[in-house]
Structure 1
Amino acid sequence: MQTGLNKRTNDLTITNALAGIAVDNLADALDFYERLFGRPADARPMGEVAEWKLPGGGWVHIATDADRAGASLVTLIVDDLSEELGRLSLQGLMPVAKSMGDFFKTAKFRDPDGNQIIFSQPQHGTY
């Protein structure tokens, strides 16, 4: 039996994803991520966990894990990177790097623990 696979076509049957980010101090992380997402967490399923639901599906999950804090990377796909950068700037969040490639424009942010949060906009006709 092929667990997690559609038996007929062998296509994955995954319908959603939860991106996990390990942080050292949840209070510091909450301040950053509430500004990043423009709102408080959508769910607080446990005392050391906060989660934001993404409009297109999926969740970003922040959890206290001192051993792994600072080693996470999440890429968030946006329709208009310039618009997002303007919104984030008003929240006091500035990218540590920006780049433009053949397929994506990106802006990299770091949370208080050093985790990388990348905003990425597909170039016209590539996504």
Structure 2
Amino acid sequence: MSLDLFAGIPVSDYTVALAWYERLFGTPPVFFPNDTEAVWELAEHRYIYIEHLPARAGNALHTLFVDDLDTRIAGIADRGLKPTQRETYSNGVRKITYHDPDGNEIGLGGGPAPT
């Protein structure tokens, strides 16, 4: 089975959100379907996009699991964003949560911290 994923994030201020997500992901979008959407490819056929939908802004919840959690978190910090929450679950899995200017939640998860 082939699988493409497009996960959407409604935002109230497209320009502000575009700049914030470029800092979060460390790259500009891979394409712009129109003048109210921007799309990033996080992995092959796995996309996340922002869309100017003010009435729906602030309600997205997405968690991305990555192999290189500490490297990604350090890169995001270097680009000026700080997490709003850090959690470690009983099984050692960690989740680092960010909130965009609208309150949309983007979590990054990964295995235990290196020893």
Q: Calculate the TM-score normalised by the size of structure 1.
A: 0.82
Report the equivalent of 2:50: 62
Q: Which has the higher strand share?
A: 2
Tell me the alpha carbon deviations over residues 23-53 of structure 1, each in whole angstroms, 9 at most, x when there is no partner.
0011000110001111111010111000001
SS in 1 for 2:106: strand
Contiguous gaps of at least 5 residues in structure 1? 1-12
Tell me the alpha carbon deviations over residues 94-122 of structure 1, each in whole angstroms, 9 at most, x when there is no partner.
10000111152110000011100000114
Give the alignment's Cα RMSD to 1 decimal. Answer: 1.6
Distance 1:31 1:61 in 2: 13
Moved segments of 4+, more than 6 Å: none
Q: Which has the higher helix share?
A: 2
Contiguous gaps of at least 5 residues in structure 2? none
Q: Give the aligned length.
A: 112
Identity fraction in percent: 33
SS in 2 for 1:45: strand
Q: Larger relative contact order (C-alpha < 8 A, sep ≥ 6)?
A: 2
Report the equivalent of 2:110: 121
Considering only CA atoms, is the larger Rg found in Structure 1 or Structure 2?
1
